[in-house]
Amino acid sequence: MMSVVVTGMGIFSSIAPNLTDFLDALKSGRANYSIKMVTYGSEEMPVVGSFLEAFDFKEQLNSRQSIPAVLKEKALNAGRRAPTAIQASILAAMEAWIQARLSEHVAAEDSVSVIVAGNNLTNDYIAQMHRTYGDRPEYLPPRFILHSMDTDQVGTLSEIFSIRGEGLTTGGASASGNVALIKAFQLIKAGESDIALVVGPISELSPMIFQGFDKISALGGTGFIENPALACRPFDSGHEGFIPGQSSACLILESRLSAQARGVAPLAAMLSGKSCLDANRQANPAMEGQIRVMKEALRGAEIDAGKINYINAHGTSTPLGDETELRSIQAIFGSGKTGPWINSTKGLTGHCLYSAGVVEAVTTILQMQNGFIHPNLNLVNPVDDDCMLVGSQAKPAQIRYSLSNSFGFGGINTSVIFAGAGVNGTL
């Protein structure tokens, strides 16, 4: 079966608009938290989050000098009037596409697939349209119905990049990003695609969704309204709940044979990706499923637990979630100071929900490439001192093999494993 490599990455985030700036933010531990007032009916609530600031799509696209003029024009035509989430996906995907040199060494259009992570991606767009046109529906824009569907992301990206292979969205709640990576991995391994553009869109939550998360006590930040920078604290005893974040990210997966034929050097190899269920419709995590999926990922990668140098944890800053995940990791990798380093990117970016797995895959590979592990922001009093949790400063590290977890409501457990460039000839 085909081996799978990563040939391109891109990001457009609340903490950085591109890979270069994102890498700087990871190294320095730079975050960007603020307060957003959310009104639903008669209720108004402050929400702490890492929110994407307003941006000029055309200006952002024009700042990327390496984009061929024809491709840039297609992106402008497709994205200039699109919702913010579509524009952010285009910018992240464009960066990955250029890095993978797909505009120079074009692959057959039907050998490329596009997979978009998440579902119910447009709930805030629909809410905004309802507020604007609810009492005058005859003025609803004709493009509303297309923009209201998750497949608008798939169609827009396929049009810009002339993709004629498979296209789909993957729903897995907060595990959607990893689910998308796993589906792309499976397509390539099966020989159904040579290349897969995997995009994690930003999460734009409507006021009703924010209220819904608040009603089940999932949101954090209530104790940090005066200092939102302290609110997101994965694995710290002061954690209250998840802090939403907004980042769009893209990974281009490719068969090793295709990358070799195009003369493109891989950035990393994806060795394995597994998903399993807890047979549970609720929001609570379960050690059994987390342990099982990590073991299955290791089996799929054909390596033992001792080979893993680093774990990018799901680490949502929720008390039950953080503690359950650490116990699951210890059950496989052991306790003490000899196990893999552990951190949570959500401390820096917030919880990016649908795109989290793709954002964290980009983060993982950047750390592998650059020999460091980013800080665990606000980790002051760890919930468990018997793990190799990264502290408040980045640490130098040579990462050969890494594992990244994503878990979702409805008992969804996922783990993916990457190998660094040149590890045991994997690339």
What are the structure tokens assigned to 8, written together? 């391109």
What are the structure tokens assigned to 343, written together? 């951190």
pLDDT of residue 104: 83
pLDDT of residue 43: 84
pLDDT of residue 425: 43
Q: Are 363 and 405 in contact (CB under 8 A)?
A: no
Locate the domains of the chain by residue range: 4-268, 272-422
Domain 4-268: which CATH class? alpha beta
- Looking at the structure, give the CATH architecture of the domain made up of residues 272-422: 3-Layer(aba) Sandwich (3.40)
Q: Do domains 4-268 and 272-422 have the same CATH topology?
A: yes
**Single pTM value for the model:** 0.96
pLDDT digits 0-9 by tens, 100-117? 999 887 677 789 999 999
CA dist 286 and 8 (Å) reads 34
Mean pLDDT per block of 10 residues along the chain (427 residues) reads 92 98 98 95 92 96 91 96 97 97 80 96 95 95 95 98 97 98 98 97 96 95 96 98 98 97 96 98 97 98 97 98 97 90 98 98 98 97 94 95 98 98 57
Query: CA distances (Å), 114 to each of 92, 110, 196, 321, in order?
Result: 13, 11, 6, 31
CA dist 75 and 92 (Å) reads 12
pLDDT of residue 136: 95
- 270-276-282-286 Cα dihedral, nearest 10 degrees: -90
CA dist 192 and 274 (Å) reads 19
Q: Which residues contact 134 (CB under 8 A, 6 or more apart)?
A: none
Dihedral sign computed on CA atoms, order 366, 368, 371, 376: positive
pLDDT digits 0-9 by tens, 73-102? 999 999 999 999 999 999 999 999 999 999
What are the structure tokens assigned to 208, written together? 């009703």
Q: Which residues contact 333 (CB under 8 A, 6 or more apart)?
A: 305, 308, 311, 339, 340
**CA atoms within 13 Å, Cβ hemisphere of 388:** 20
CA dist 316 and 240 (Å) reads 10
